[in-house]
Structure 1
Amino acid sequence: MALNNQVNKNFISNVVNLLVGIFVGLFYTPYLIRCIGIAAYGVVPLAFIVNQYISVVTSSLTGSLTRFYSVSLQQGKYEEASKYLSSSFLIITFIGVLMLPFSVWFITHIDYVFNIPVNLVSSAKWLFSFTIIGFIMSLYSSLLNITLYALNRIDLMNIVKIVRSAMKVVLTIGFFELINKDVSFIGLVLFLTELAILFMSYLMYRRTVHNNIVVSAKHFNKPALYAVLSMTIFVIVQQIGDTGLYRIDNIVVNKFWSVRESGILGAVSDFGNYVMTAIGVISSLFGPLILIAYSKGEHNTVKKLAVDSSLYVGLLAALLIGAIIGFCKPILALWIGPGYVAYFPWMILKLYVIPFYAAAGVFASVYRAWNYLKVPAFLTLAIGAVNLLVSILFCKLSNGNETYIFYMLIISSIFVILQSYVLCSFCFSKLYNFSEKGALVINFFKIIAVLLLTVLTALAYEEFIPVNKLFQLCIAIALVVIVALVLSFILILKKEQKEELLDYGKSLFSSK
């Protein structure tokens, strides 16, 4: 019962975090574009992409630590957990020091690395400087928050996320309206926000560990560090491949076109991130449960959790994405302006892969718990490299024709599905010698069916009822999701899946 109570707390906090995320998604990006223009905004996604490349090493370390630290903590081995955490803090600091000369060179040559207008170079340098510093601070916060994840305290992690989102919006409005509408202030806001989050994360950490876990130099342990680093190497390889798949298009478009095109692509990509936040209301509930079950050796539970929750997460994502794709034209018109409606195909191609990516994330939680990373890491790297080469080839053939961006996104989306659902399902089935591989294939087509069903429902709605105001759009999306949900429940799910979902829904409201 205690576990159910915590799951419910996590779910409620996820919903609150979702509502905040929806507000930020609807308001923040359009506000920035209105204030600084699409060209200046085009610099912002580039700064965040640079952080993603830097995080290939650092976040790989925190991801690896999560596995070892969580297992030790769940098994009550606090001394061992302290060694893992202390060793990771030391290596993060070492990486930060190593990054310093590279960061200085990169920022001073920013106009050479990227295609940035002369009038934006100075502001861009400040933007990149603040974001890199803020990012390093966020890594320390992430290390502290691993304790919350290991204890399944997603509710406390959501408090941190809500504060981060709220500060980002409030401080940006304050600087823009009271001082100046300059892109450099976006970086300053990130820096100040991460400074506050670091302090808040420390307080959360102290509240949950109760002096059981100690971070100190004397707990630095070479075997613990080597164990984390051995896993980190493969996580790094996999994240390099991930970055080559999911975010490389912004950099390629910037180099072959301009900040305008990369700004538009960055905006529709950001919309996908907001949708992933919505899907996280459900999907983030399963990661800690899988890791806890693995730590206790309950492998039948792990297998059932993975197969069932992967399907449910994928179907939920398909409902949301299907509705958004069906209404993508009015969404673009209302969100960032009627002048950007012509780019709805870009938005569709950046969004339709999300259900498969979200479903695959559940399987990834399993093989990371097992520390089974070598195969998925190198295959992801290979797929990402091929995607990068194909993207560059399309851009070289384009002669500035934006249609080739569309072609590039089509190929990239296929690679994303191949790397996410197909690869992760293969690794999961191989790890557990899963005899019902056909079930994973059927689940894949169920996700496709729900996605198409929801898109068609949205298109039918818009055919009879025009959507040209925000209120109308919200009502339309809600109605389409409800109708598609009912139809999917009746037509696509098996009897036992229906019963399981109904039981789970009842438990959310009946547990005490």
Structure 2
Amino acid sequence: MSKINQLKGGAALSYVTIFLTNVVGLLLTPFIIRSLGSAEYGLYTMIGALIGYMSVLDFGLNNTVVRFVAKYKAESDKQGEENFLAHSFIMYMCISLLVIIVGGILYFNLEYLYGDTLTPDQIGKAKIMMLVLIFNLALSLPGGAFRGICSGYEEFVLPKLVNIIRYIVRSLLVVAILLYGGDSISLVILDTIMNLIIISINIYIVIKLLRVRIKMHTYDKKLFINILGFSLWLFVFAIVQQLRWQFGQLIIGAFYTTSIVAIYAVGITLGNYYGAFSGAIAGVFLPRAIQMTVKNIPKKQLTDTFIKISRIILFVLLYILGAFIIVGKDFVFYWVGEEYNMAYYYAIIIMIGLTPTLSQGFANNILEAKQLLRYRGLLLLFLTVTGTVISIYLVRNYGVISMILVTVFFLLLERILMIPYYIKNANLDMLRYYKEIFPLSIIILVSIIISFLKIYFFPNRNLYVLFGSMLCYSFIYIGISILIITTYEKELFKSLLFKIPIIKHWIN
């Protein structure tokens, strides 16, 4: 398949993956919760978060593989590529050994960490899950290198297609296992088996189809240093992500029951779905925008592009946020049940905190293109570690919501502190940016007003009211959008609308 077709096919399959992840996830999560029960679902997510936190021990190496393989391929340096991969897999072997050591330490200290909140039966299940997941992670980290090699070779379609098939099969098997009485241990065993199958397929693609070889030609100490140097900031950003969203489950599990962990996990899940929508939009516009940063683009043109992309992302995000404010409480009730009511408030706070970061991704891409990640990396690490330390104190005394508020506070603080850096180093006119973005805030004010009216006039839950509120909000949202939409956005909307087959046929 040609390079262009690989890119187009890979992009199309990325959207299919996003759609499947969100839709199937929304359908599957309540089924898993009801099948396992809140306590066991909380245990399942907590141990998953613990092992997920260990996944940062890859030190950003998977993304480094993509970058270096693409570089050697562009230079037609087959020997350099083989030598680099040999060095990389030596590092992966060390990382897998580190995972086993760290995992072993955690395994033998589970009673000490969670003895006050977990029952003996839960401790036993947690230990079995940990053993399976440590084995899974020790193989998955080096296995991920083969997916990275595919990306470096711009072989997107087959690996993504395999991943989609895996997601569908895994979802069907989860349903079957739980219907036949399976528990959380069954699910982690299933995930491990599926992982091994996918790694084997990716190895076949790399070795047999792409004919890539891993061979040590000469030992190169400088190459190790270069690999680690490139991986460092990717590792920092991964640490930040884990501290923000995964570490919370470990903290809560140390002070509260696994049922409380489960409610927090549902709130985080809804926040992740929210972020996925912006990823789909950003994927369309950001590649073109990144290319602009390597040229000497004037400040006005760069800011224009930044504003265009941010506004388009915000139109989508604010619609979702507004809709969730209005009907989210009812949605959570019908989705996972009354006991998860607090997840609605967790999700709203998380969504508000994520909105500025998700909509300003272009500014971060400029920094990445200019290799100016150090300042933001250090700032994020400092703020996130500070927030985590404060959260550990607050969550014990003031509950889970205090931890989420602290996380979001530091998320928003990072956005504020980055403004001078964007102005100076990314060459962006941030004052004009906020001036042109501000009108969109009207949408949230309208959402809050509609939400209060809905609560006042329709205090009881009703599916008809839920869908009626969504319909009413959608019409009002479209009306407000028409008033504040720019010419560029109007033309873009028309071009996208006319690509829909039924509308295109009706017009013609």
Shared fold (TM-score greater than 0.5)? Answer: yes
Residue 34 of structure 1: how far off its partner (Å): 1.0
Taking a change above 3 Å as real, the CA distance of residues 413 and 503 of structure 1, as seen in their structure-2 partners, is: same
Residue 366 of structure 2 contacts residue 426 of structure 2 at CA under 8 Å; is this kept in 1? no
SS of structure 2 residue aligned to 1:216: coil
3-state SS, counterpart of residue 214 of structure 2: coil
Q: Does residue 439 in structure 1 map to residue 423 in structure 2?
A: no
**Inter-partner Cα distance in structure 1 for 2:440 and 2:56:** 30
Distance 1:158 1:328, change over 3 A: farther
Q: Name the amino acid aligned to 2:487.
A: K
Q: Tell me the residue number matched to 1:418.
A: 413
Over 3 Å counting, the alpha-carbon distance change for 1:27 and 1:298 in structure 2 is: same
Aligned residues: 496
CA distance in 2, matches of 1:165, 1:397: 40
Higher mean alpha-carbon deviation, 304-313 vs 90-99, is at 304-313
1:244 maps to what in 2? 243
Offset at residue 91 of structure 1 (A): 1.2
- In 2, Cα distance between the equivalents of 1:439 and 1:4? 36
Alignment CA distance shift 1:17-1:237 (3 Å): closer
Corresponding residue for residue 132 of structure 2? 130
Once residues 81 and 479 of structure 1 are traced to their aligned partners in structure 2, the CA distance between those partners, rounded to angstroms, is 58
Q: Report what 2:313 is aligned to.
A: 313
In the alignment, what sits opposite 1:25? 25
Could you say what secondary structure the match of 2:60 adopts? Answer: helix
Contact conserved, 2:367 with 2:426, CA < 8 A, in 1?
Answer: no
Deviation for aligned residue 1:55: 2.4
Q: Distance in 2 between matches of 1:78 and 1:460?
A: 66
Give the deviation of 1:449 after TM superposition.
Answer: 4.3
Distance 1:44 1:439 in 2: 47
Matched with 1:228 is 227
Q: Which amino acid in 1 is paired with 2:275?
A: M
Q: 1:447 to 1:387 in 2, by over 3 A?
A: farther
Structure 2 residue aligned with 1:90: 90
**Mean Cα deviation higher: 214-223 or 381-390:** 214-223
1:13-67 deviation digits (Å, cap 9, x = unpaired): 3442233223322222212211121111111222232233222231522234444
- Among 176, 184, 187, the alignment partner of 1:174 is 176
User: Which structure's CA Rg is the greater one?
Assistant: 2
Matched, 1:498 2:499: no
Superposition map of 1:444-455 within 5 A: 445=438, 448-453=441-446
Q: Is contact 1:167-1:193 (8 Å) kept?
A: no
- 2:372 is paired with a residue whose SS is coil
Given candidates 119, 122, 133, the residue that maps to 1:120 is 122
Are the counterparts in 2 of residues 74 and 150 from structure 1 also a CA contact under 8 Å?
A: no
Alignment of 1:56-455 (within 5 A): 56-58=56-58, 60-70=60-70, 73=73, 80-114=80-114, 115-150=117-152, 156=158, 158-178=160-180, 180-205=181-206, 210-211=210-211, 214-218=213-217, 221-286=220-285, 289=288, 297-298=294-295, 300=297, 303=302, 308-398=308-398, 404-419=399-414, 421-422=415-416, 427-434=421-428, 436-442=429-435, 445=438, 448-453=441-446
C-alpha distance after superposition, 1:400-443 (max 9, x if no partner): xxxx3223322321212333x44566554443333x22233346
Distance 1:424 1:235, change over 3 A: farther
Whole-angstrom CA distance in 1 between matches of 2:34 and 2:466: 21
TM-score by length of 1: 0.82
Q: Could you say if the C-alpha distance between residues 375 and 187 of structure 1 is closer, same or farther in structure 2, counting changes exceeding 3 Å?
A: same
2:188 alignment partner, SS class: helix
Measure the CA separation in 2 of the matches of 1:410 and 1:320: 20
User: 1:335: Cα distance to partner?
Assistant: 1.1
| SS of aligned partner of 1:352 | helix
Specify the alignment match of 1:401 in structure 2. Answer: none
Distance 1:80 1:429 in 2: 39
In the alignment, is the contact (CA less than 8 A) between 1:237 and 1:381 conserved in 2?
yes
The answer to whether the 8 A contact 2:13-2:157 is kept is yes
- Does structure 2 retain, via aligned residues, the 8 Å contact 1:323–1:454? yes
> Distance in 2 between the 1:474 and 1:154 partners?
39
Q: Deviations for 1:303-322, whole angstroms, at most 9, x for unmatched residues?
A: 57655434423432222233
Superposition pairs of residues 467-506 of structure 1, within 5 angstroms: 477=470, 480-481=473-474, 484=477, 486-487=478-479, 489-500=481-492, 502-503=494-495
Structure 1 residue 188 displacement after superposition: 0.7
Distance in 1, matches of 2:420 and 2:488, equals: 24
- Superposed CA offset, 1:76-132 (max 9, x none): 666555554443333122110122222122123223223322111121112222223
Q: Shift of residue 475 of structure 1?
A: 8.2
Among all aligned residue pairs of Structure 1 and Structure 2, give the percentage whose two residues are the same amino acid.
Answer: 17
8 Å contact from structure 1 (residues 269, 347) kept in 2: yes
Partner in structure 2 of residue 50 of structure 1: 50
CA contact (8 A) 1:82 1:219 kept: no
Give distance in 2, aligned partners of 1:464 and 1:73: 64
- Counterpart amino acid of 2:385? A
Distance, in Å, in 2 between the alignment partners of 1:40 and 1:164 is: 25
* Post-superposition CA distance 1:234-258 (Å, at most 9, x none): 3333433333333332222222222
Q: How many angstroms does 1:288 deviate by?
A: 5.1
**Matched AA of 2:348:** I
| 1:173-208, Cα deviation, whole Å (9 max, x unpaired) | 333333x4322112112101211221233345468x
Alignment CA distance shift 1:376-1:326 (3 Å): same
Please tell me whether the aligned partners of residues 132 and 192 of structure 2 are also in contact (alpha carbons under 8 angstroms).
yes
Aligned-residue RMSD, C-alpha: 3.8
Measured in 1, the distance between the counterparts of 2:23 and 2:460 equals 20
C-alpha spacing 1:67/1:112, structure 2 compared with 1 (3 Å): same
Distance 1:456 1:397, change over 3 A: same
Corresponding letter in the other structure for 2:90: L
- Any unmatched runs of 5+ in structure 2? none
Aligned equivalents of 1:479, 1:200: Cα separation in 2: 48
What is the identity, as a one-letter code, of the residue corresponding to 1:317? Answer: L
Q: Given residue 425 of structure 2, which amino acid in structure 1 is its aligned partner?
A: L
Q: Which amino acid aligns with 1:383?
A: L
Amino acid at match of 2:406: I
Matched AA of 2:137 = F
Is the partner of 2:217 in helix, strand or coil? helix
CA contact (8 A) 1:148 1:154 kept: yes
Give distance in 2, aligned partners of 1:351 and 1:479: 22
Cα 1:307–1:20 change in 2 (3 A) is: same
How far apart are 1:354 and its partner, in Å?
2.9
